[in-house]
Structure formats: C-alpha cells, structure tokens
Structure 1
Amino acid sequence: MQGTATPSGGGSGEVFLDFVRGLQRFLEELAASQGQVVATAILLGVLVGAVFVVPALLSRLRRVAARSVESGRAGDWLAALARYTPTSFQGVLLRTIQLVVLFLVVGSFLVVWGVTDFAALLDPYVQDRSPTLINAVQTAFLVTIAFVLSDQLQRAIDRLTLALDDFTEHQEEILLRLGQVTIFVALGATILSVWGINVGGLLVGAGFLGIVVGFAARQTLGSLIAGFVLMFSRPFTIGDWVVIGDEQGIVTDITIFNTRLENFDGEFVIIPNDRVSDRSITNRSRKGLLRLTLDVGVDYDTDIDTAMDLARTAMSGVDDIVDTPPPQVIPKSFGDSAIVLELRFWIDHPTPPRKWRAVSAVVREVKSAFDEEGVSIPFPQRTLKTRDGTVSDEAVRSMTADGDE
C-alpha cells in the first residue's frame, strides 16, 4: 500500500494526522518485513495489554496516590486533586484508554491487511474542521464535567449527613437522585443544543406526552409525589413500629412508590404511598418510650390503697419496665363485680416482643403479689333476687348464652 501525500495545513489537526501517518507507515513496514500474521499477533498483544495490564497499572497508581495522601507525604496540589477528582474517574479513564486502544487496533488491522488507508479516511474530518468531530469532542467534555459534578454532589451530601444527626439515609438518597437527575437533564439539553437539535420542539412534545401519561398513570404519579413528601416529612423511618390505618407492623423499606411493613404474623404488607399519606399514622417508636395499660379488678371488700401499693411494687420489679416515668396505678371504675384498677407502665425501645414480654411479666408479678397478700381478683358475680323479695347469697361465677351454669 502506498503512503498518502501530506496535505497543507497546520495546527493540532495536522499534528494528529502526522501521528496517524507515521503509525500507518510503521504498520506497513512491519507487515512488509515480518508478515501480516506477525503484525496481527503484535496487535492482539497490544489489545490484551489494554484489557488486562492497563487496569492493573491504574489500580496500582491509585493505591500509591491514596497512601501518599493519607500519610501526608503528598503535596497540597495532589491532596486538592484527590478531593476534586471523582471516585469514578478511574473507571472513566480506564474505559477511555481501552476504547482508544481498541479503535487504534481495529484501524491497524485494516492497515496491515490493506483494507483501507486510515490517514486518508481521517484527513477530511481533521483538515476541514468537521463539525461532527468538534461536536463529539464537546459532548465528551460535557459528559466528563457531568460525572465530576455528580461525584462532588455525592461528597457534599455525605458531609451534610455527617453534620446533621437527623438526616436519614432515605433523605440522603432522594436528595442525591434529585441532584443527579437535574445534572443529567441539563447535560442532555446542552448536548442537544451542541448538535443543533431544537430543544423547544422536544419540550412541547414532552409536554403533551406528559399530559397523556399523567391521565394514564394518576395513581402511580400520586404515589410518587406522596413518596417524596414522606421522605422529607419523615413521619416514620425504617425500623419504626407504626400503625397505618388498619395495618400495623415494623417499617422495612420506604421507596418513592410504596411503604413496606412486616406485621406480627411475619407477613409483608405493601402500602402505596398515596394511601399512606391520606391515613392517620401512629408511630409507637418515635419517642423511644411507649406507655402500656392493663386493667385488673379487685374485690369490693379489698382496701384499694393496699391493692394499689402491691401492684405498684410488683410492677417496679419487672426488668422490661423503665423506672422513669415510674409505674402508676389508677382506680378506674366501678365494675359489675370489682373495683377496676388501671396499671400504667412504660417500656423503652418499643417493639411488639418487648411489649408482650412486659405485659406478661406484669400479669405474673401482680397476680403473685395479690395471692401472697390475700387480695382477691373476683370472678364475674350476679346477685339473684326472687319474686318474693328474698336475696340469694350465692354468687354465680359465669353464665352461658343459654343461661346454664
């Protein structure tokens, strides 16, 4: 194959073409002296090096630079570069190098086997300053800037999370996603402008499409908007014990479309966020303390103050009950067969298992204390009065639906 003539021109485009012509002459001479098969093997070796050797070298350089920054041996300029270099930069650089090598190897194959004149193929684009090439370079630059901005946004949100104790992971995620969407939407609009595409026409079309989609997916969009509201208003977080309408359980996940609970039967309940936002929500974990109540009846002949002291002392000995606020016993009402006392006690870090452990322990301790002091917890009783006005002294413990004992 004959070498191409050097056209007139200058600048960076001419330098690039000179490099391509020099590479092409080298490949032609290599194929002529060593043969096309040997030249092909060399090119395959270069490709394998780009796939396996270059990633290892970049990884090694990254580890060395990281150790230098951590140990303080690096200069201020290197530390600043590490702060503002995106963490994804290594991946972007690696893929760029591999794509460039792949492009060069494929072009070299074509030159070695005499398929095309690569320098002549690129000459019109470089010498005439083809708008396509310029737009491609601008697009690559804009994409790189967008990745850098996205990474800096991630770092800024991480610093904000460390500074604010009440900033949750879900708020961090939603803020990051909104920022990334904003960055890449702006990137897309800018790239369209670079390539001379009418953004206004696209926006008009997108507006009509948005109206159609909005009517077709009203419930989905409602759940989406409600999801954003929930993530920022934060009526509950993952791990909270909540009651939402008729459902209650532990919050296992909050997405932009639905909230997921695990109820106390081990079932997973998925509630659309629009249904969560229009129902009353009771968060039993938010305060960190939960008050529980339990009713117990004592005989009318019992000294109420003594019974209250016994119940209060019994509750104070339960491990699952906190000391502050202290347990309370309140005379609640006159029952049919007993004076009803309301036992009030608190548990911390409320969960259903802790609740039922505390309730069970209170029942056992209060029953034992009453038994030791002879305080009676009466069965349901009825006083029977005959037609002649006499009153029976017998107490009927229980009555069935048919009136039998």
Structure 2
Amino acid sequence: MGIPLQVDPRGPISRFLVNTFGLDESVAYANTVDSAITFLIVFVAVYLIGRLLLLPVVGRLLDNRGLEAHAQKPLRKLFGVVIVFVAVGVAFAAAGFGNILTALATIGAAATLAIGFAMQDVIANFVAGVFIFTDRPFRIGDWIEWDGNSGIVEDISFRVTRVRTFDNELLTVPNSHLTDGVIKNPVAKNKLRLQVPFGIGYGDDIEKATEIILEEARKRDDILADPEPSVRLTELGDSAVVLKSRIWISQPSRADFVKTRGEYVTSVKQRFDAEGINIPFPNRTLSGSLDIEGLDRVMASADD
C-alpha cells in the first residue's frame, strides 16, 4: 500500500518563513503575502511584455495598413487598456485568486449592462468614432463643413472631434453628429473648384469680358492650368449679364481659398475698370401705397 503524496499548499514565501524562522503560526499570513507578491510580479511581467513587445508589433501592423497618426493614436490607447485587463486577469489566475476573478467578471458584466443603458449616447459616439477612423471621411488638418458650420479638424478621438472655426473658436463635436448627417470635405481630393460670378452691363462686350476673366486666371500661379479655367454665361439678371468663372486650385486650405478668390476678383475688377467694362449696381424698384391718417382734417383746417 503506497504512501499518499503530501503536497505543500504553501507558496515559496510561506515555506521560506516557516523553514527559516519556524513561524508555523504565520502560514496563513505568509500565504496571503505570497499571493499578493505573485500577483504583482505576474502583473508587471505581463504588462511589460505587452508594452515592450506586443505594442510595437501592433504599431508596425498599423503602419503597414497605411493608417495615419491620428488614427493610430486612439487604437494604441485602446490596445494599452486591453494589455492592462489581460495583465490583471493573468495575475489573478497565477496568484490563485480564481474566485475573485470570477466575481469580478460577474460584477463587470452587470456593470457593463447598466452602464450601457446609461451611456447610450456615449456608446453611439464611440461607434461613430470607429466609423470615422475606418471610413476616413476627413483627417486632421482638413477643412470640413457640416450643418452650417465649418472649420479645420484639430483632433479626432473615439468620442468627439475638435474643430477650430475660422473665427478661432474651438468646437467639440460629438462624432455621431458627423456621421448622421452630410459632411462636406472640400480638400478631400487635393483640388478645389471655385465658381466666381462677374456681372457686366448689357451694353458691354461679352467676349471681351470673358477674355479678361480668363487672362487674369492664367496669370496666377495658384490657379491650375489643367483643368483649365472656363467662363460661362449663366444668367441674364435684372441689371447685369452674369458670367461665371470656374477655376481650380491645388492643395487647398481655407486660407488659400479666401486669398486666391479675393486677389483674383480684385485683378478682374481692375481690368474691367481699365477696359471700360461696367459692373452695374443692382436696381431696386419700390412699389406700394402711402396712407396718411388725418389728412382730411388738416385740409379742412387749412380751408378755414
């Protein structure tokens, strides 16, 4: 009949204390200390492995997929949170705190359900942020327009996007607002077409005015030659014949757009003035009637 194998349930710290100092009464306390130290060592080891080894690998994978810095930043943060959760779970298991780990998982599941109901808007913005990172309708530095607002994108996170307006105001926009509606990104294709209307008088030479508009466009280095500028007669207004110029600029920004348009319009106006082409003022005709109360009494008093 064999002798049953005795397994010492005590950890290495407990055995060291008992064998060295004979502190049998301290076994329970030593086991707790041993488990805590084991938890700490395993947590630090797993966390460092994740941060020093896995995180750089994830970074290289993101680079290989062509993701830009603004898209990689939140993904790296999310992976860092995952590393912490994994390190905590592995450390609990290694320290023999399986029951605690199970309890934490149950509490975490219940808390997640409760938080999910309470934070529906936040979750919606988070999901919208994921779509912004995957679909990339705009990037940091892009000029965007939505719901009557416009500005330059300064930062994109999983919950909000920060946009600096052209009045130097900072807008913090929930991501769901940018994915539920229509977003205009004038600089998405690195070229922007400007349509600039010019009104001339009915007695002016349309062909001459058209040639002036095109010449002034061709003189500018910030206006592309391909696609070439064009002019179309688009309207016969009440007081003017409207010629609409279509020009293209490359690598546009809001500042470039305003500067190019302003200087181009100024140069065309100066040429029109020099060539005697009139830019007429709009005519306004007022109609209606004027009633004066008590006029009959005033007239009667005058007769008296």
Both structures adopt the same fold (TM-score exceeding 0.5) = yes
Counterpart selection for 1:279 from 171, 176, 181? 181
Counterpart selection for 2:112 from 199, 210, 228? 210
- Render the CA deviation track for 1:15-52: whole Å, top value 9, x for unaligned: x96xx9xxxxxxxxxxxxxxxxxxxxxxxxxxxxxxxx
2:53 is matched with which residue? 152
Query: Is 1:368 aligned with 2:270?
Result: yes
The one-letter code matched in structure 2 to 1:301 is: G
Structure 1 distance, partners of 2:285, 2:23, is: 102
TM-fit CA distance, 1:175: 2.5
Counterpart selection for 2:81 from 173, 177, 181? 181
TM-fit CA distance, 1:320: 3.0
Counterpart selection for 1:334 from 236, 240, 245? 236
The one-letter code matched in structure 2 to 1:323 is: A
- What is the SS of the residue equivalent to 1:311? helix
- Render the CA deviation track for 1:350-402: whole Å, top value 9, x for unaligned: 22221111111111111122223222222335xxxxxxxxxxxxxxxx55688
Query: Is 1:133 aligned with 2:30?
Result: no
Structure 2 distance, partners of 1:220, 1:150, is: 28
- Render the CA deviation track for 1:142-185: whole Å, top value 9, x for unaligned: 53133112222332244345545x41112212322232233322
- Render the CA deviation track for 1:43-65: whole Å, top value 9, x for unaligned: xxxxxxxxxxxxxxxxxxxxxxx
- What is the SS of the residue equivalent to 1:281? coil
- What is the SS of the residue equivalent to 2:98? coil
2:137 is matched with which residue? 235
RCO higher in 1 or 2 (8 Å CA, sep ≥ 6)?
Answer: 2
Contact 1:315 1:365 in 2 (8 A): no
Contact 1:125 1:133 in 2 (8 A): no
Change in Cα spacing, 1:188 to 1:162, as seen in structure 2 (3 Å) is: closer
TM-score (norm 2): 0.78
Contact 1:244 1:282 in 2 (8 A): yes
Change in Cα spacing, 1:142 to 1:264, as seen in structure 2 (3 Å) is: closer
Structure 2 distance, partners of 1:314, 1:244, is: 32
- Render the CA deviation track for 1:209-262: whole Å, top value 9, x for unaligned: 222212222222222222222222221111110012221101111122211111
Structure 1 segment 246-325 matched on structure 2, within 5 A? 246-325=148-227
Counterpart selection for 2:21 from 120, 134, 159? 120
TM-fit CA distance, 1:196: 3.0
2:282 is matched with which residue? 380
Structure 1 distance, partners of 2:187, 2:22, is: 70
Query: Is 1:171 aligned with 2:78?
Result: no
CA RMSD of aligned residues (A): 3.2
Contact 1:157 1:172 in 2 (8 A): no
Counterpart selection for 1:193 from 93, 103, 124? 93
Structure 1 distance, partners of 2:22, 2:237, is: 100
Structure 2 distance, partners of 1:124, 1:139, is: 25
Structure 2 distance, partners of 1:157, 1:379, is: 64
- What is the SS of the residue equivalent to 1:224? helix
The one-letter code matched in structure 2 to 1:189 is: G
The one-letter code matched in structure 1 to 2:67 is: F
TM-fit CA distance, 1:271: 0.9
Taking only the aligned residue pairs, the percentage that are identical comes to: 28
Contact 2:218 2:229 in 1 (8 A): yes
Unmatched tracts of structure 1, length 5 or more? 1-12, 21-118, 382-397
Structure 2 distance, partners of 1:248, 1:210, is: 36
Unmatched tracts of structure 2, length 5 or more? 1-11, 290-304
Q: Report how many residues are paired.
A: 273
Change in Cα spacing, 1:376 to 1:134, as seen in structure 2 (3 Å) is: closer
Change in Cα spacing, 1:121 to 1:329, as seen in structure 2 (3 Å) is: farther
TM-score (norm 1): 0.60
Contact 1:298 1:338 in 2 (8 A): yes
The one-letter code matched in structure 2 to 1:258 is: V
Change in Cα spacing, 1:402 to 1:123, as seen in structure 2 (3 Å) is: farther
- Render the CA deviation track for 1:262-283: whole Å, top value 9, x for unaligned: 1111111111112222121111
TM-fit CA distance, 1:332: 0.8
The one-letter code matched in structure 1 to 2:177 is: R
